Amino acid sequence: MTATGTELGVHDGRLAPCPTSPNCISSQASPNDGGHYLPAIPYRGGNEEALDAVRKVVMAMTRTRIITSDDGYLHAEFRTLIMRFVDDVEFVLDDHERVIHFRSSSRVGHYDLGVNRRRIKRISRALLPRSGRQG
């Protein structure tokens, strides 16, 4: 559970919904919710290969710690440089749709200056060449 009280992990196949604050981004938000939505990341190959690719990209980023990585799910913590705030970033593989769903959210505060959105876009760009698709 995060400092904001949001339960992390996969529940009935879904990650927790974003709060109304603009410091969260999710592929499982409504596509009509431009403030919170970004599309899921497509992947090819097996689940373990896809999760390993996510793990490698995340670990190459600064101030990152992987908390959980198993059964098609990965939870990592990212810390900001100055204030050391923690953002929780989760990934879950959807084997049927062949996509990686994600949720990136700040634990505290209201506005994150777009950090979570930029982080997910960076991760997505790093993973897309491996999936063989453009996006």
Would you give per-residue pLDDT tens digits along the chain (135 residues)? 554 456 899 998 899 999 999 999 999 999 999 999 999 999 998 999 999 999 999 999 999 999 999 989 999 999 987 778 899 999 999 999 999 999 999 998 777 878 899 999 999 999 986 544 444
Please give the pLDDT value at position 78: 95
Q: What pLDDT was estimated at residue 132? A: 47
Integer Cα distance of 81 and 38 in angstroms: 25
Strand ranges inside the chain, DSSP E: 24-26, 41-42, 64-70, 73-79, 86-94, 99-106
Specify the pTM. Answer: 0.88
The token pair at 124 is: 């997505």
Q: Backbone phi, then psi, for 129, in 5-degree steps? A: -60, -30
Interior angle at CA 98, CA 129 and CA 14, nearest 5: 120
Question: Hey, what's the torsion of the CAs at 120, 52, 13, 103, to 10 degrees?
Answer: -20
